[in-house]
Amino acid sequence: MSLRARFILGTACGLALSVCAGFIAAYLVIRGQLRGEIDRALKERATALIDFTRQTPARPPIGPRALPSPAPKLGGAAGYIQLVGRTGQVTLPPGESVRLPTADVGAVAAGTRPPFFTDTNIAGTHVRIYTAHLDNDTAVQIARPLTEADNTLARIRLLLLLVGSVTIAGAAAAGMAVTRAILRPVQRLTDDAEQIATTGNVDQRTDERRSDELGRLARAFNTMLDTLARSINAQRQLVADASHELRTPLASARANLELVELHDSLPPEERRRLLAEAGRELREMTNLIEELLELARADAHKPEMHPVRLDHLVEEAVDAVSRRSSSMFQTELQASLVEASPSAVTRAVTNLLDNAVKWSPVGAPIEVRVKDGTVTVRDHGTGIDPADLPHIFDRFYRAPKARTMPGSGLGLAIVRQVAETHGGNVTVDTATDGGTIFAIRLPTVGNVAQKPSSTNSECRPMSKLAITAAVDRPRTVRER
């Protein structure tokens, strides 16, 4: 069953139940009023008869001719009167032969039971009987036919049935019209969604000018389409940029290897140079593929996080970068506890350190600080051109002066992705006395003792072993 049919059926059924309940209540109230009037008249007639009997000083014995029957007031209905003695003997009005039921009437005559009303059918007539105590050994029964009240109630029932049927039919029609009007925006939204699914055009939008819940739904749908369109565009751009970035080192490495293969007479020095260049290009391509996989994994799955010491992660990253570079680092690491994925945060910090190593002049220190969930990395290089600042965190973006240097343009994009995934952010500023300051801010989860895990106010020189490793191992940096 469709939503429209369920809505119409539910509206009609709800209104039908309400109408029926209202009509039943009205019928019972009217019936009670009619029967109440008859009961009140019967009581008044019995009270008048009892008063008349008590005012008679000497009443002859009960007999067919001796039944007291005062005239009703203002021509009111006299009712059918019958007297019943303690032992069950019955006295009828003169000329009457129809007897009323006398069950439990002897107890009223004896004064052991209070007055009561009963309904019965006598000679095909529906009557209402009121039984009351008349004197010490006699009870009086007064009956009135309910024909007029029953006919009135029958007409009322028919009228209510007709009115109820018309009301329910009108409610169903109104529900259908209201449902059609309410569901029209939903139908339009459904048609737009089906058309988008059929054509694949996520640039199409639906009408969102309504101010109610359906307008909110339309705005949410358009927002979802905007997000989807941005995601698709980003994927297409990523594929295009990755293809371009992979094509260059692959083509260069292939050309060098083919040159070595085709020219057996190349001097050994030239052969080694070509092979070294091919190896360097292949390493650049490997780094690019690893960074692409890192971005793809972060986009697909949220990293597993738990409380970690940020200062410890930064200290390990500084040690790792120090071992493969000749740069000097100044560190000021205060204890800081954050909810983070250690591997992701370490990768982001390492990218910033590699970026600082790449742009720092020889002999200039790189300053690294950790405080209150913020990692600050400063180099003393030439700084960033103001025109490049808005784009340095974009994927595959490379500043003009960085295009001749190794790199893929993904390092800082990974930094921003890690920061945003952890609910933080990354900023970049130009220092007044030269150089660039990067800062990753992550939400802290508690206080730890302010005991610096590593504090160095002077440059840390590389050990001989570290210098040897830096010379033997190719230098790996990340693009700004």
Check: CB of residue 274 under 8 Å from CB of residue 259.
yes
pLDDT in tens, 86-130: 888 888 888 788 888 888 888 888 888 899 999 999 888 899 999
- Is the model's pLDDT at 283 over the cut of 70? yes
pLDDT of residue 401: 65
The full set of domains in the chain, from first to last, is 3-151 (3.30.450), 202-301 (1.10.287.130), 304-472 (3.30.565.10)
DSSP bridge pairs for 430: 436
CB 428 within 8 A of CB 318: no
Where is pLDDT greater, at 409 or 328?
Answer: 328
**Which range has the top average pLDDT, 49-58, 186-195, 199-208?**
186-195
pLDDT of 430 strictly over 80: yes
Q: Residues 253, 278: contact at Cβ < 8 Å?
A: yes
Question: What DSSP designation does 98 have?
Answer: P
272 confidence band (pLDDT: 50, 70, 90):
confident
- In the structure encoding, which two tokens stand for residue 386, read together? 């103001």
pLDDT on residue 407: 58
Query: Is the pLDDT score of 468 beyond 50?
Result: no
- 131 vs 203, higher pLDDT: 131
Mean pLDDT of the chain: 78
Q: With a cut of 80, say whether residue 479 has pLDDT above it.
A: no
Percent of the chain topping pLDDT 90: 18
pLDDT range class, residue 134, cuts 50, 70, 90: confident
Give tens-digit pLDDT for 51-79. Answer: 887 776 555 444 433 555 666 665 556 78
Predicted local distance difference test score (pLDDT) of residue 367: 93
Residue 449: the pLDDT is 52
Q: Is a pLDDT exceeding 60 seen at residue 463?
A: no
Range with the poorest average pLDDT among 237-251, 344-358, 367-381, 462-476 = 462-476
Query: Residue 116 in 3-state DSSP?
Result: strand
For residue 80, give every residue at least 6 positions away whose Cβ sits within 8 Å of its Cβ, in sequence order, or none: 93, 96, 98, 100, 127, 142, 143, 144
Q: Is the pLDDT of residue 298 over 80?
A: no
Q: Looking at residue 25, what is its pLDDT?
A: 92
pTM: 0.47
Average pLDDT of the segment spanning 155-183: 84
* Residue in the structure block whose two tokens are 């989860």: 445
Gap between the Cα atoms of 427 and 450, Å rounded: 25
Q: Which residue has the tokens 């002897």?
A: 106
Banded model confidence at residue 471, pLDDT cuts 50, 70, 90: very low
What pLDDT is recorded for position 312?
93
Tens of pLDDT along 86-97? 888 888 888 788
Q: What region does 411 belong to: left with phi over 0, alpha with psi -120 to 50, or beta?
A: alpha
Phi-psi region of 295 (alpha: psi -120 to 50; beta: other; left: phi over 0): alpha
* CA–CA gap between residue 125 and residue 37 (Å, rounded): 19
